[in-house]
Amino acid sequence: MLTVLSMFYYICLRRRARTATRGEPMNNRRAIESNRALPINVEVVQYAKEVLDFSSHYGSENSMSYTMWNLAGTPNVYPSSGDFTQTAVFRTYGTWWEVCPSARSPFTRTPPNFHSHDYVELAFDEPVYPTAIHVLETYHPGAVVRILACSASPYSQTLPAEVRWEILWSEPPTKVNSPQARRFAPSIKRINFPTNLIRLEVNSSLLDYYTELDAVVLHGLRERPVLSLNTSLIDMNDLDDDDEEEDGEQDSCSMDILNKQFSAAAFKEWTTNGYFDKLPYELIQLILSHLAVPDLCRLSQTCKLLYQHCCDPLQYIHLSLQPYWARINDTALEYLQSRCILVQWLNLSWTGNRGTISLSAFSRFLKVCGSELVRLELSCGHFLNEACLEVIAETCLNLQELNLSSCDKLPPQAFNHIAKLCNLTRLILYRTKVEQTALLSILNFCSDLQHLSLGSCVMIEDYDTIASMMGAKCKKLRTLDLWRCKNITENGIAELASGCPLLEELDLGWCPTLQSSTGCFAHLARKLPNLQKLFLTANRSVCDSDIDELAANCTNLRQLDILGTRMVSPASLRKLLESCKDLSLLDVSFCSQIDNRVVLELNANFPNVLIKKSFTQ
């Protein structure tokens, strides 16, 4: 009887709580009256206070247009649809960047549930237990593939002993047929800690154009929610924080076990290994090469034979730890160390932030495992400092590819050490603080460079000098990214085109100091007949004569972006499309002479070319 009365009293309280409006302050009379019996958990609704970190954005480092910083605060555009500068836009979309000359070979053994290509981290004012997250998408929605919450507050003065990331929602990328705005509100998982740090991970590979995000809304409760009657009286998360509740978390959770599973273990003695004794060692190795790292962790616990195979350094020739960025720490690197003595490709992108990897652990790992390294990916590695680059330069003497994309915490002087890596063929410095002196030294000593990315490097004072050095020293250069370089002129372009005749890809998007009237674009077309990709985005001066030169000289062209020009006519585009038989991407957004009728006509006559034209509602 007492139990029935207790349940009836509890139901009355819940009904009373529901009469309060969403977001009703605690000092409201109704809330105060309810609190006399039982504290009412009022839902807090808040927009992001600030953007803490991100992997890339379309915009400039010195403005707000198309930057991730637009995600802070209330909506600027929503519910309107279209291409607006006040939104957050990532650097890439579709698969175009995967089929151009600068594309990199993917790492194998990536777990099938990891789809993320970019991310943004957002801080909110008040830590809450999340009940809902709404992403306001204003153009080509559908890029968000994962939402995570962090246990550490970005406003805490000290880092906690443990930084936990929990997946609130995760799904493979999906195709959204409409480019119109929407409020994306997936059903999220309940977590057992309050958070004011939310991370969105995106994959734009299925999108027809750049996705645009306007704001993120976090709904949550100040206190841990009271259990409903149809739930267990004990939250299983209290008993086991690493409980694998869904398939999407299994690989991440398995990385926690990495620290102990690879240590020596006692196995029961068997006289034989069954049918495994009949298989050649190499065949077992080949079978195991298709397993992801967490699967190797699990398999290593089965028997001594498979433990030996799982710990063989040959299994770690190509190793990507990026999918497990939230779980990689000093201990994980220590246990992997003996298995990675032969590693040639290593991906540590997104790892190590918020103190999870120390400088000493990273240095120890590279000193043991860096001698055979050919490719090193460190994108968004904010734990890196000058000492780390010094260790890389001293130990990774065979290094050919180095990715420091968005390592914007590295001090300018750190980049001087890269000049010691004389075998480099690929260097990605997008969104870094590299300065002119260091870059000139790199170009002077790394003459084998074939792929160079300097997009959004705002600390370089004179790009003409840089272009002149490239023309003099980097004769093998095939791809060059100068996205949003603010001061290159026709003189630098002339030096570059004359000295680097093998160029197949050139990104001069948002370079405002280049003017067609100087003949710089026509000179490029004549000097670089191998061009396959050319981005002249937002250069208002591009005109018919430039397009005619491309049609006459660059017949291998596959991708062309002339967004924003008012001086290109439909006739010149037809000539280009007739001459460049391999052209597959043409962006004519905001080209005033190319209206929708022209686009429809060109699409009908050249069906193999995807002609992009964005709109503003």
Measured distance CA(273)–CA(32) in Å, rounded: 69
The stretches of 146-274 forming alpha helices (DSSP H) are: 236-239, 247-261
602 found inside a domain: yes
452 contacts 425 by C-beta, under 8 angstroms:
no
Domain stop point among 404, 432, 460: 460
Retrieve residue 2's tokens. 């007492």
Torsional sign, CA 475, 476, 478, 480? negative
Strand partners, 47: 217
Element housing 39 (H / E): none
- Which tens digit of pLDDT belongs to each residue from 337-357? 999 999 999 999 999 999 999
How, if at all, do strands 401-403 and 585-587 pair?
A: unpaired
In the prediction, which pLDDT does 15 show?
47
User: Across residues 241-256, what is the average pLDDT?
Assistant: 46
Residues 609 and 521 occupy one common structural domain? yes
Residues 323 and 437 in one domain: yes
pLDDT one-digit tens code per residue, 189-242: 999 999 999 999 999 999 999 999 999 999 999 999 875 444 333 333 333 334
Asked whether the beta carbons of 529 and 499 are under 8 A apart, the reply is no
Instruction: Tell whether 51 is covered by a domain.
Output: yes
CATH code, domain with 538: 3.80.10.10
The CATH number for 213's domain is 2.60.120.260
Range of the domain at 586: 477-616
Whether residue 570 is predicted with pLDDT greater than 50 in this model: the reply is yes
Verify that 432 and 483 share a domain, yes or no: no
CB-count exposure of residue 82 (10 Å: 0-12, 13-18, 19+): middle
Average pLDDT across the chain, whole number: 89
Same domain, yes or no, for 407 and 514? no
Given a cut of 70, is residue 10 above it in pLDDT? no
On whether both 496 and 560 belong to a single domain, the answer is yes
Q: Is residue 253 part of a domain?
A: no
Does some domain include residue 25?
no
Residue 267: pLDDT band (50, 70, 90) is low
pLDDT band at 268 (very low <50, low <70, confident <90, very high): low
- pLDDT at 463 > cutoff 70: yes
Note whether 606 and 587 are within 8 A (CB): no
Domain match, 430 and 456 both: yes
160 lies in some domain: yes
152 belongs to a structural domain: yes
Q: How many residues does the chain have?
A: 617
CA distances (Å), origin 77, targets 132, 134, 214, 541: 21, 15, 6, 29
Are 436 and 489 contained in the same domain?
Answer: no
For residues 428 and 528, state if they share a domain: no
Same domain membership, residue 494 and residue 436: no
As a whole number of angstroms, the distance between CA 583 and CA 369 comes to 43
The answer to whether residue 9 scores a pLDDT higher than 90 is no
Residue 101 sits in the same domain as residue 188? yes
Kindly state whether residue 401 falls inside one of the protein's structural domains: yes
User: Which of 460, 492, 517 finishes a domain?
Assistant: 460
258 SS3 class: helix
pLDDT digits 0-9 by tens, 42-99: 899 999 999 999 999 999 999 999 999 999 999 999 999 999 999 999 999 999 999 9
Nearest CA-CA partner of 168 in 121, 133, 120: 133
In whole angstroms, what is the distance from residue 69 CA to residue 75 CA? Answer: 12
Convert the pLDDT of each residue in 394-404 to its tens digit.
999 999 999 99
Shared domain check, 513 and 567: yes
User: Three-state secondary structure along 295-350?
Assistant: HHHHHCCCCHHHHHHHCCHHHHCEEECHHHCCCCCHHHHHHHHCCCCCCCEEECCC
Do the domain assignments include residue 601?
A: yes
Local confidence band at 276 (pLDDT 50, 70, 90 cut-offs):
confident
- Indicate whether 426 and 347 sit together in one domain: yes
Number of folded domains that form the chain? 3
Q: How many CB atoms lie within 10 A of CB 357?
A: 22
Query: Of the residues 194, 221, 248, which one is the last residue of a structural domain?
Result: 221
E strand intervals along 442-536: 451-453, 479-481, 505-507, 533-535
